């Protein structure tokens, strides 16, 4: 039925009930009246003075589940109510019969099957020959209204619970900055209750001023009609991060502003401590003998140390910051660096012993070896890449020299800072001076020995497998890190670079050994720096992100439509209800 017609019909019916006119004297006539009442989606009934039902419309039977046969056998209004309401209903019936107008009264109705539902009952006496002989009433099912009321109450409770549980001060002000509503956190920040803040001006409460603050983001938000944010310091020395969000009505008129404030005094102190810590780690990076760079995930250079500038031929950091790190890689290696190496880095979090040629500022090229690791934010998302490079020109020259002629370049091998050995048939056939110095044995003690005896036990399996695979022509990593044992049994971290060669007419393994103890120490320091940096970033960002998520949850859970628009009325953001 059309809502307008239904409202009109209900109004007419209730007027007749209030007037107490006899149905048979209705302007519609008894038959038309009953047809009209039967068409209503509301329960209409009449009783005698004992509560026995003498008339009920069709919807009454549908709502309560009774049949015409039940009606013919006799039904009483008290059958339609739960036991807890019977005494109250009897008293109210008596009051109505005595002439008192009670209006609509809420009860819990009971169907034939025992199920219940909430109702409002409007009743008036039936008067015949100046005697009140019964009751005429309309029963309205308010189940949906109760659900809506409960949902609204629940939403209000949830909204208050969420707002009161977040770390920020949330304050709703009118256009004059008078506080209309605030959460508990705002009150606690100045040792007052939320109720005590209502009606006061925000600038009086926090800034102890008699007029709004000039640089306040909340003031700016009201002036611009757009969200504003900034930092302010209160007279007690506390630092606050403040965001102001204009509130507009459905016509786009500015009616107030929501202020969300977070005290960041401790964060500012932490940031100062972080700057001091960064200074220490920066000093460590600057003293590294190897170039160290920090880039974003696209390869854009964010930082480079002094050795990196020197290696590339630059004087100041400003000359190189912002450039793509790929620009310094030789064209023949650039595609591999952009695809394969970056893919490996993003998949595993690190890439070790990557070799490619580097172009200096003057155009000269040199081979480099780089170890790279991802830096992650507080949520585990990669945000940057740190790389430590080394000019391996000398090593490359040594490798080439050995391939051409072992005898010709034996002096170079013996003078190499890296250990160089040749393994054939599982035993040491050649050991240079650096290798001997590294492990502390005499030449006669080590030459001819089984090479696995000098490998730390937990690395022997992988070393042996790669040694055999390499000699059999299978493709295996040539460069990797292991630990070897000195004569005293001390474990030494080394980097080995192995390649298959022909030695005295038969296959052998040529191995370069580099002591990386210092590099490991530096890498450990760098990891500590990265971890510390991640902790500070997490501390710095977690509160802001959580507050934003909670605010969005508030907006999403509100039963009211909420929208934020610009001054032209364009919707910038809105919740689901909107």
pLDDT digits (tens, 9 = 90+) for 144-182: 988 998 888 888 777 777 777 777 888 899 999 999 888
Measure Cα distances from 140 to 63, 68, 106 in Å: 10, 21, 9
Confidence of residue 26 (pLDDT cuts 50, 70, 90): very low
* pLDDT tens, residue by residue, 32-75: 777 788 888 889 999 998 889 999 999 999 999 999 898 889 99
For residues 165 and 554, the answer to whether their CB atoms sit within 8 Å is no
What are the tokens at 357? 């040629």
CA–CA distance, 365 with 441 (Å, rounded to integer): 38
Measure Cα distances from 545 to 269, 364, 507, 539, 542 in Å: 20, 47, 61, 11, 5
State percent of the chain over pLDDT 70. Answer: 90
**H or E element, residue 573:** strand 571-574
482 DSSP β-pair partners: 494
pLDDT of residue 25: 43
Q: What is the distance in angstroms between the CA of the first residue and the CA of the last residue of the chain?
A: 28
Q: Assign 68 to helix, strand or coil.
A: helix
Report the 10 Å Cβ neighbour count for 134: 22
Name the DSSP letter for residue 473: T
Hey, CA dihedral for 513, 517, 521, 527, is it positive or negative?
positive
Q: Give residue 164's region: left, alpha or beta (phi > 0; psi -120 to 50).
A: alpha
Least confident of 198-202, 361-365, 449-453, 525-529: 525-529
What are the tokens at 575? 């919740």
**H or E element, residue 232:** strand 228-233
CA–CA distance, 371 with 236 (Å, rounded to integer): 49
Span 356-367, average pLDDT: 91
The predicted model scores a pTM of 0.35
pLDDT of residue 406: 58
Which residues does 368 contact at the CB level (< 8 Å), separation at least 6? 355, 356, 357, 358, 389, 390, 391, 392
CA–CA distance, 56 with 49 (Å, rounded to integer): 16
Q: Which residue has the tokens 């403040």?
A: 242
* pLDDT tens, residue by residue, 66-112: 998 988 899 999 999 999 999 999 999 999 988 899 889 999 999 99
More confident call, 560 vs 211: 211
Confidence of residue 408 (pLDDT cuts 50, 70, 90): low
CA–CA distance, 281 with 357 (Å, rounded to integer): 28
Span 404-416, average pLDDT: 67
Which residues does 398 contact at the CB level (< 8 Å), separation at least 6? 409, 412, 413, 416, 418, 420, 512
Q: Give the orientation angle of helix 265-286 with respect to helix 517-557, to 10 degrees.
A: 150
Q: How many residues does the chain have?
A: 578
Instruction: Specify burial of residue 457 (Cβ count, 10 A radius: 0-12, 13-18, 19+).
Output: exposed
108 DSSP β-pair partners: 118
Report the 10 Å Cβ neighbour count for 185: 20
CA–CA distance, 58 with 33 (Å, rounded to integer): 13
For residues 194 and 180, the answer to whether their CB atoms sit within 8 Å is no
b/e map 208-221, b = 16+ CB within 10 Å: eeeebbeebbbbbb
More confident call, 243 vs 37: 243
pLDDT of residue 403: 72
CA–CA distance, 277 with 294 (Å, rounded to integer): 17
């Amino acid at each position: 039925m059309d809502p307008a017609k239904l409202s009109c019909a209900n109004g007419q019916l209730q007027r007749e009930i209030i007037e107490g006119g006899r149905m048979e004297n209705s302007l519609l006539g008894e038959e038309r009246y009953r047809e009209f009442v039967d068409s209503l989606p509301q329960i209409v009934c009449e009783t005698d003075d004992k509560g026995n039902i003498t008339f009920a419309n069709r919807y009454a039977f549908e709502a309560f589940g009774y049949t015409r046969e039940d009606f013919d056998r006799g039904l009483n209004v008290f059958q339609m109510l739960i036991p807890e309401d019977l005494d109250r209903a009897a008293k109210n019936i008596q009051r109505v019969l005595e002439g008192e107008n009670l209006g609509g009264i809420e009860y819990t109705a009971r169907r034939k099957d025992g199920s219940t539902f909430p109702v409002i009952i409007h009743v008036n006496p039936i008067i015949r020959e100046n005697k009140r002989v019964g009751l005429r009433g309309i029963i309205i099912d308010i189940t949906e209204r109760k659900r809506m009321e409960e949902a609204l109450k629940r939403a209000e409770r949830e909204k208050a619970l969420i707002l009161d549980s977040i770390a920020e001060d949330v304050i709703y002000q009118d256009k004059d900055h008078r506080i209309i509503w605030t959460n508990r956190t705002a009150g606690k920040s100045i040792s007052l209750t939320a109720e005590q803040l209502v009606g006061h001006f925000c600038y009086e409460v926090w800034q102890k001023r008699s007029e709004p603050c000039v640089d306040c983001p909340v003031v700016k938000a009201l002036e611009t009609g757009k969200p504003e944010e900034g930092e302010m310091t209160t007279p007690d020395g506390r630092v606050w991060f403040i965001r102001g969000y204009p509130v507009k009505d459905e016509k786009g008129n500015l009616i107030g502003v929501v202020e969300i404030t977070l005290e960041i005094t401790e964060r500012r102190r932490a940031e100062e401590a972080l700057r001091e810590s960064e200074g220490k780690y920066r000093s460590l990076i600057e003293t590294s003998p190897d170039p160290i760079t920090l880039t974003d995930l696209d390869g854009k250079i964010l930082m480079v140390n002094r050795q990196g500038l020197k290696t590339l031929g630059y004087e100041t950091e400003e000359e190189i910051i912002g450039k793509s790190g790929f620009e310094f890689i030789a064209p023949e290696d650039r595609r591999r660096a952009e695809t394969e190496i970056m893919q490996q880095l993003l998949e595993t979090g690190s890439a070790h012993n990557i070799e490619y040629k580097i172009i200096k500022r003057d155009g000269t090229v040199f081979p480099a070896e780089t170890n790279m690791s991802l830096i992650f934010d507080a949520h585990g998302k990669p945000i940057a890449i740190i790389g430590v490079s080394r000019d391996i020109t000398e090593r490359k020259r040594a490798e080439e020299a050995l391939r051409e002629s072992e005898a010709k370049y034996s002096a170079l091998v013996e003078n190499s800072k890296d250990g160089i050995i040749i393994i054939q048939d599982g035993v040491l056939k050649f050991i240079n001076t650096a290798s001997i110095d590294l492990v502390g044995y005499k030449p006669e003690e080590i030459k001819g020995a089984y090479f696995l005896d000098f490998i730390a036990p937990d690395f022997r399996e992988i070393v042996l497998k790669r040694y055999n695979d390499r000699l059999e022509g299978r493709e295996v990593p040539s460069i990797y890190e292991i630990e070897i044992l000195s004569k005293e049994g001390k474990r030494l971290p080394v980097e080995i670079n192995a390649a298959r060669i022909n030695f005295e007419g038969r296959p052998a393994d040529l191995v370069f050994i580099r002591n990386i103890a210092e590099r490991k120490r530096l890498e450990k320091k760098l990891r500590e720096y990265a971890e510390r940096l991640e902790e500070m970033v997490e501390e710095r960002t977690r509160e802001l992100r959580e507050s934003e998520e909670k605010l969005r949850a508030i907006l999403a859970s509100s039963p009211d439509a909420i929208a934020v628009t610009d001054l032209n009325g364009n919707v910038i953001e809105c919740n689901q209800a909107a």
